[in-house]
Every structure is written in C-alpha cells, then in structure tokens.
Structure 1
Amino acid sequence: MKKSMDYAKRMKFVLTTNSKAFFFSEKKRVQFENPTLVNVLKSTVASFTRFNEETYADFETYSLIFVQNLMSVDRTIKTGFHDFDWEIKSETKPILGFEARKAIGTYYNLIWDTTTDVEAWFIPAIPLRSGPDIYMGLPGLVVEVRLPKVIVTATLIEEKEKVSIEKPDEATAMSQEEYEDYVSSSKKQLESLNRDYNSSYSI
C-alpha cells in the first residue's frame, strides 16, 4: 500500500482543452520499475481515483467518449455528460495564482453501484467547462477534485493561442445502453464465478 501511495503521488495527468472539447489522460513517463509491479500499483491507484484510461468531451454534442478497462480489456464507450447536480458554494481559495471557488456534487458509479460525494474547485476567471476526467460542467475550469480517497490538484496551467484536440475513433464505441447491459452481464458473470468457487471449496 505504501508503494501504491508513493506511486500515486508521482502520477501526472494532462488536460488539453478549449471551448469546444477537451482530452484528458495520464502523462506517460519512463518507467524504471518492474512492469508487473507497475500494473499492480496502477490498478491500486485506479481503485482510488476510478479515472478512465482516456476521456474526451465534446461540448457541441454534449457527449463523452472514454476508454475504460472492463474485465481486463480496454473498451471505448460513448455516453452523455454526467449530472453531478453541482451546488456552488461561497468558499474560495487561491490555486496557481487564481481565485478558485468551491462546488459540491454527487456521482453515481455504474460499475461499483455506488454514489460518491465530490468536492470540486473551479476558476471562474478561466471560462472553460472542463476538468479532470469526467469532473466538469462548472462555470470555470476545474482545477481540484476531492474524492473520498484521493485529491487531484492542478500543478500547472499553460495558455496557448491554438489548441488542437483530435476526436478519438468512436466506430466501435459502446452506446450508453450497450455499456449498461455489458456492466450488468459482467456483474452476473462475476457473481456466478464466485458462487462456483465458493461451492468448490466448501467443507
């Protein structure tokens, strides 16, 4: 667990965004650890953040295209935006030289069948509705997200004149309905395997 925490502190993500779209993914870096160990550490960290492998948002069609590891296979899914039912608070604090404002909301995770409280800090002075992974939709750039087991904070904001964001290939993407059906069937499959395993070793 200590190694996982140390690895998590060294993880970096990149959010590239403009007013029309954004793309979010982990920043690739040279790995010096054993590949098997890295996979274990990443899996542990992923259980905290539950971030997708990649996330693309299209503000013109209000659609998300993300890559998620399901049953040890990366799947591409296309859905609508998540509704966090954001409630903007009066609290503010400085982040990277900007005044950030607090918002709270909730998120339902289909995979884990859980509802999570989310605390987000956004910068009204940067009028982009983007944020890390799926945490977005506020009147300003989300630069910090606080979840029950992890805090993700922006460490650098760079402004560029032109930002090119390539839309991922969605030809084989699951729809929202197909995604929900797949998750449901996967849960039933896991439950069946667990029952078979327990019955095989019952005494």
Structure 2
Amino acid sequence: MKSLLLKFSAIVLTLSLSSLSDTKQNEKKQSFQGKAYYLSKAKMNLGTWGARLSEGQKKEIEARLKNRLQKSYVLTFNKEESFFSEEDQLDAMSGATDSWGKNFAPGDQYKNVKTNSQIQNQEFYGKNFLVNDNLQPIEWVLGKETKQIGDYMCFKATASIPTNELTWFNFSWSKLRDSNPKETDTIQAESKAVEIAMTEVEAWYTPQIPVSHGPMEYWGLPGLILEVSAGETTMLCSKIVMNPEEKMEIKAPEKGTQVTKMEYQEIISKKMKEFRDNRSGRRRG
C-alpha cells in the first residue's frame, strides 16, 4: 500500500512539474513582446497609358492614390507568434476610408513560426474569409552587407519568390486571362505555365531582436526584418517598442469562412468574372 502511494505521489508530482513548466514557458513567451511600426511606400506605375499624361495630371493621380501607395502597419510579436495589421487612414481627397481598396488589401494576419501556420482575415465585398494555410516557404540567401536602421545593426538577405504567392490576396485581370486561356491558345498557355513570374526580394534583419518574424508574408530570418523591398514596394520599420508596459495578447482571427490561399484566389476570380460578365451583359442590352 505504501509503495502504491509513493508511485501515485510521484506521478502527481511529475504532472505538477510538467504543468508548472508549461505555465512558465507561456509566461516567458508572453513576457518577451515587441511592437514594430512599418511604413510601406509603392511607386506609381501607370504603364504606357501614363506616358500620355502631363506631370500635373500624374501628380493629381498620385495624390488621389496616396492612401494606396503609402500605408502604415503594426507588427506585434513574441518568440513564436506575430500579429500584423494595417492602421486605418483617411482618403487624401474625400476624407473617407478606402472601401474599394480594402477588397484587395491584406487583412489582419497571424503567423506562428513554431507550428508553421498563417491565418489571415480577408473581407471581400462584405463577406469575411479566414484564410488558413502554411507560412510562405522562403529560401533566403544571407549576405555579409550591413547597415544601420535606427538603433539596430541589420544584415542583408535576398530571395526569389513566386509573385503570385506574395499577392494571393490581390486580383488583376491578367491573372484571370492567364487562368482561362482560349482553346486555340493551348500551346501558348502550356508555355506560360512553365514560366512562373518571380519577385526579387531584398530584406534587412537585425539579430539584436532574435525572432523570425517580419511584415506581410516575410519571415524565417535569424532576426526581426526591419526593411523589405519587393517589386515596386518598400516597407521600412520606423519605430520599435520592446516589452511594452501594456501587453497585448496575440491571437489568431476567428471569424470568417475557412479557406486556403488557393481557394480564396478562386473565389475572387470567379466573382470578378461574374462582375465583368454582368457589366458586359448590361452594355449589350
């Protein structure tokens, strides 16, 4: 009987120590927390159509599109998790929020580097989606170049990432055309399928903040990413607050229809095709 009690006591003690260890790990994870503030700037690309415009017309368009070309974000992070969201800003001309642009803008994003998971809330024409998928795989090439960003020494890293993987929440008519080729264009379509558009990415990270987080789809470096340039867009960290007095619980978005990134792209393409066909039908009528 005494032996049985000793075994039972040992089991209880082991479970208690395990529970205490888990509690301490969670407390440690939550106690190490930071907030990074980013400013995103994109160059205005008007293509061949823009060549016909005067400098005055270009400046007017740029002023109207300012809230789409310049955006502010906040990344809250601990050792394993991060939450990335855009700060609301008013339209430069009307004083209203950009409701049309929000249909194709990245929503609130939760990343967990330990579980390799990403959950992002996307709103598309009044309907909420919960895009649940793996983190974007990135094969970083670490360089030796350094530069100072604020109080932090940063190192350079580069990567080549499929463009469609970086812009899965967005839409373009070219994507729709490429996904619905005509039967007579079979050979050309097969040729396109082999040619995957890639985006060259340049990132600067600091080992002084030893977490694998970063803004948007970027992560996986041995330090917080403070600057990243991809295509026409550059995102730069303007302020970092480590271990703020007011702790924020980092939680994944929970409301919305669960889909994968690919399923979400299919939904957008289908709805935009319906939108286009309905407009064409009204014109013919």
* TM bin (shorter chain): 0.7 to 0.9
Mapped to 2, the partners of 1:186 and 1:10 lie a distance apart of 24
**Is 1:87–1:104's contact at 8 Å kept on the other side of the alignment?**
yes
**Aligned-partner residue type, residue 125 of structure 1:** Q
**Partner SS, residue 154 of structure 1:** strand
Shift of 1:194: 2.2
Find the counterpart in structure 1 of residue 135 from structure 2: 81
C-alpha distance 12-194 of structure 1, shift in aligned 2 (>3 A):
closer
Q: Does 1:141 align with 2:224?
A: yes
Matches within 5 A, 1:85-124: 85-105=139-159, 106-107=161-162, 108=165, 109-111=167-169, 112=171, 115-124=198-207
**Is 2:119–2:131's contact at 8 Å kept on the other side of the alignment?**
yes
Find the counterpart in structure 2 of residue 65 from structure 1: 119
**Aligned-partner residue type, residue 239 of structure 2:** L
Find the counterpart in structure 1 of residue 101 from structure 2: 43
**Is 2:131–2:264's contact at 8 Å kept on the other side of the alignment?**
no
How high is the TM-score relative to the length of structure 2? 0.57
Shift of 1:127: 0.9
Question: Which segment is superposed worse, 148-157 or 2-11?
Answer: 2-11
Deviations 1:105-125, CA, capped at 9 Å, x for gaps: 214233545643322111122
Say what the alpha-carbon RMSD is for the aligned residues.
3.3
Find the counterpart in structure 2 of residue 156 from structure 1: 239
Look at both structures and tell me which one has the larger radius of gyration over its CA atoms. Answer: 2
- Pick one of 49, 57, 75 that aligns with 1:15: 75
Mapped to 2, the partners of 1:30 and 1:171 lie a distance apart of 25
Q: Which has the higher contact order (CA 8 A, sep 6+)?
A: 2
More strand per residue: 1
C-alpha distance 180-9 of structure 1, shift in aligned 2 (>3 A):
closer
**Is 1:104–1:120's contact at 8 Å kept on the other side of the alignment?**
yes
**Is 2:67–2:98's contact at 8 Å kept on the other side of the alignment?**
no
**Is 1:99–1:123's contact at 8 Å kept on the other side of the alignment?**
yes
Shift of 1:140: 0.7
**Aligned-partner residue type, residue 39 of structure 1:** D
Percent sequence identity is: 22
- Pick one of 69, 73, 86 that aligns with 1:26: 86
Unmatched 5+ residue regions in structure 2? Answer: 1-60, 176-196
C-alpha distance 9-200 of structure 1, shift in aligned 2 (>3 A):
closer
C-alpha distance 140-186 of structure 1, shift in aligned 2 (>3 A):
same
C-alpha distance 174-92 of structure 1, shift in aligned 2 (>3 A):
same
**Partner SS, residue 158 of structure 2:** strand
More helix per residue: 2
Unmatched 5+ residue regions in structure 1? Answer: none
C-alpha distance 160-35 of structure 1, shift in aligned 2 (>3 A):
same
Question: Which segment is superposed worse, 23-32 or 69-78?
Answer: 23-32
- Pick one of 188, 194, 199 that aligns with 2:276: 194
Deviations 1:53-91, CA, capped at 9 Å, x for gaps: 211112232211111233453422111100122222222
